[in-house]
Structure 1
Amino acid sequence: MSHLEDLEEYDAELELTLKREYATVFGLFRYCVLTQEATYLCNKLDMKIEHQPSYPLFHLRMEDVWVWDKNRPSRIIPLAEVHTTQDVTIEELKPEHEVLTTLPPEFTPPPED
């Protein structure tokens, strides 16, 4: 087997692991956020839109987040901020009262600027 085939097989295994993990954790989250750069699952979402002359700038702040990234050792993170001028799709998966957090009870996110 060549090195290229080894890399392709390794990449395919990472992708399959990621898809399985996504299916497992999907039900834990309130929102699914899709950007051109990545897919996020999160339980708290704040979006601000800054209107520019030629395009809108989206500021997304997510807490209790799962990130679609096969190269991360841990995909669940406490906080993520995204700034993009590309399309953003937000799906509400369930109402707030049905959400359980993946964060430890003592976690406090840093204040917003």
Structure 2
Amino acid sequence: MSAEDLENYETDMELQLYREYKDVANLFNYVVETERRFYLANAVDMKARSADGEVYFDVTLTDAWVWDVYRTARFVKTVRIVTFKDVNIEELSRIEDLTIPKDAGMGLG
């Protein structure tokens, strides 16, 4: 396999992963980003802990999907993450949850 074939294979795998993400994102409530991974989850429990003067984060995700091109099973019942780096947690908005004010300044009417 040439370097170009390998690059094309990896590009195709990333594209498949992105398409899968688009298909499943609406099934989840949260996006969780760490320094190593990106997750979708329906429940997130994060606790800041300390040991020997160091602060770390203990995060548990329930009903999760893992952004990892090399995983064969991306859907996981429970994920536990322990990290010394920042964790970004965002609650996803659903279209039906969004309310647009009647006077949103859209220049209609």
Q: Shorter-normalised TM-score: what interval? A: 0.7 to 0.9
Unaligned 5+ residue runs, structure 2? Answer: 98-109
Residue in 1 aligned with 2:107? none
Deviation at 1:74, TM superposition (A): 1.7
RMSD of Structure 2 on Structure 1 (CA)? 1.8
Write out the 4+ residue segments of structure 1 that deviate beyond 2 Å after TM superposition.
Answer: 51-56
Any gaps of 5 or more consecutive residues in structure 1? 99-113
User: How far apart are the structure 2 equivalents of 1:53 and 1:91?
Assistant: 30
Deviation at 1:3, TM superposition (A): 1.4
SS in 1 for 2:32: strand
Larger CA Rg, structure 1 vs 2: 2
Q: State how many pairs are aligned.
A: 95
Report what 1:24 is aligned to: 23
Structure 1 position 33, deviation (Å): 0.3
Q: Deviations over 1:46-82 (max 9, x none)?
A: 1110135664200000110000000111211111100
What is the distance in 2 between the residues matched to 1:20 and 1:57? Answer: 33
